[in-house]
Chain A
Amino acid sequence: MKTSSTPDHVHSDGFLARLMRDQLKLSIACAVFFVTALIALPLLNYYQPEFMAQRIAGFTLSWLILGVLFFPFVWIISYIFIKRSIALEDAEAAAAKDSAKK
């Protein structure tokens, strides 16, 4: 059962697949930065202990990254994601409504 306001092609498998693919692509692109950092930091601590132990204003580099810099890094990723995902949703909604008019 469809309502008259919902365009036909919105109910197609093609629309759903494209919708999910676009959303997942954006989510994974943002997750890659985060996951890379989570994997890389322990590895750097493991293989480059002397480099990570160097002092920066009293902090060791590894302490500065994990205890202070990691938070703004994640905020930036989330800000970019929110902006792009809202733009993506707006574009999807506009495209669906446009095709309904045609």
Chain B
Amino acid sequence: MTPLLANITNVDPWIAICSLVTVVITVGMGFWSAGKSKSAGDFFVAGRSVSVGWNASAISGEYLSAASFMGVAGMVMATGYDALWYPVCYACGYLFLLLFIAGPLRRFGAYTIPDFAEGRYDSPVFRKIAVCFVLFIGFFYTMPQMKGAGTTLAYIFPGLPYWVGVAVVGAVITLNVSLGGMKGITLVQAFQYWLKVFAITLPVFILASIVGHYNQHLDANKTAFESTAANSAQVERKALPAKAPKDEQWIAPFGKLTTKAVDASIAAAPTPEAKATLEASKKPYSLLYTYSLIIALVCGTAGLPHILVRFYTNPDGVAAKRTTMWVMILIGVFYVFPPVYGVIGRSLTPELYDAVGAKGTDKVVLELPTLLAGKDHALLGSILSGITCAGAFAAFMSTFSGLLVSMTSALAHDVYGRILKPNSTPEQRLSAFKWAAVIIGAVSIGLGMQVEALEINFMVGQAFAIAAASYFPLLFMSVWWRGMTMKGAATGMLGGGLTALAAITLTSISDVANAAAKKLPAADVAAYWVDHPIAKSIANYWVAHPLARILCEQPAIWAVPLSITLMIVVSKATATTIPSDVRMKMLVLHAPEALGLKQEYIKEHEGLGH
């Protein structure tokens, strides 16, 4: 028997069936929608005709990625309370988008963010810079989705190489996007949101009714102010391994996630005095880490290009606002549940603390339902595990679809249609969209194969921090400050985004070296850094300077203000280059659509030959 056949015979049939059904429905919907997507508008912005309900479901479906479905539960289980900031800010970050950006952005009526950048500043150069950032942030966000695909397929087919999962899922989604474009994936993503909600809620409700509820399992963890855990419901709790954080550290704020930099320094402190000094700074540094994380997640949500591009599919600004509110409700409902898996997982699957990478706490969502097999519910356990696997599939497939459309639009619409061939026919642009989807899909698959050693949430955090320090300040200031110039906007966006990237890269080099040293999968890719003198000297620097490590790992607290400051200073210095029709542009951004200023603005530009 070949190794592949041996893998297939080891597969749980329910898990395989549920995953296969998800893929077949996704592809089927893509083909069906392909027949309905005819024009370039359908491909790029779904004909600007998507209703609030559909669009809110589609945005939610696109947003809830592998990190949300698997990573949040794993992180709550691994680090406790502090990880709750991730789901809360992922969901509540939309409020900033709603309050300051969603309505004006839609009223301006561009196809993509680079369209907005060029339209607001009348600068084709700025369009090119904005395109680079769309692709840049998009690829950063794509890599963790590819990692999710590879690890989930490896979970379903034990022994299957990681790269096969990346290649198969990447190819399927690329086919889907190139066939149906934005209109095609709107339907698919809306369906996938509801599949993910079903897949995260049903298993947890059934599990909780058998093994104990959310609050009962939390009650089994004692706080620093309790002598013993109450565990009043007497829920089952297995012994924690040495690697697991202690109860009082896990259930309370300022735990392992936010203190690991100082903890590493304390462990290496040469004298008891140095140890005591570091101990005293542990909690303040932890507070600083928490605030920087909050800024990155809240501002990053409002600056993700693949989410922003969806607001152009609304019929008008009011619909864009209503859509944002419903997105907050839909994803908020979802995000209540992943932490429940993390809490119950701590009680019932503590052995995951001892594993690393994809076999560690990240797979608690997939692993918990299988416990029912040991409680005389073997079939139920298999079915529920199949459902959670289907949810995981939907998670990385829908987010990758959205990223692919966003990046493909940037390449086909902005690079081909606006820069390379401005006089192209709609047919040529449509054909360019399909080819661009294949190119971006192939690059994403190639990149995805290189990141097995990196953590899903770590990579997502990188994308959020870069978006927070680049696109968020650009959009916020462009919408609300008429004194912004192109030079100010570009300097701020590049200054904030690139310094955040540099800071994050410094921490990731030492983390990758550490992961390779622990012999994580694909360590050969990361092994280059293990004994590299640069990685060693950076790691030593972090141990000596934990505050610097925190500020580089979570750069938003300084990178966002830096970006905004640069925008203000450079704009003031170049005030003579403020676009001459800035009043009209601001009116289009802010005036109610009923006044018809957008049509007037278009006529004005046609008259000028734009």
Contacts and interface: CB of A to CB of B under 8 A. Distances in A.
Contacts of A60: 218, 223, 251-252
A42 B291 contact: yes
Contact of B99 (A2, A79, A81): A81
A45 B254 contact: yes
Interface in B52-97: 81, 84-85, 88, 91-92, 94-96
Given A45-B253, A46-B283, A78-B98, A2 B335 contact: no
B16 interface: no
Given A62-B81, A63-B84, A52 B253 contact: yes
Contacts of A72: 332
B597 interface: yes
B321 A5 contact: no
Interface stretch (B113-121, B348-356, B517-525, B584-592): B584-592
A89 interface: yes
Main secondary structure of the interface of A (DSSP, over half): helix
Contact of A1 (B81, B232, B233, B603): B603
Most chain B Cβ neighbours within 10 Å, of A24, A38, A63, A93: A63
A34 B95 contact: yes
Interface in A42-61: 42-43, 45-46, 49-50, 52-53, 55, 57-60
- B-side interface mostly: helix
A81 B99 CA distance: 8
Given A20-B480, A49-B252, A62-B81, A75 B216 contact: no
A44 to B, nearest CB: 9
B95 A55 contact: no
Nearest to A46: B287
Contacts of B516: none
B103 interface: yes
Interface string B208-251: 00000011101100011100001011000000000000000001
Contacts of A81: 98-99, 321
A90 interface: yes
Contacts of B607: 1
Contacts of B322: 82
A2 B281 CA distance: 62
A16 B321 contact: no
Given A2-B600, A11-B587, A24-B480, A66 B84 contact: yes
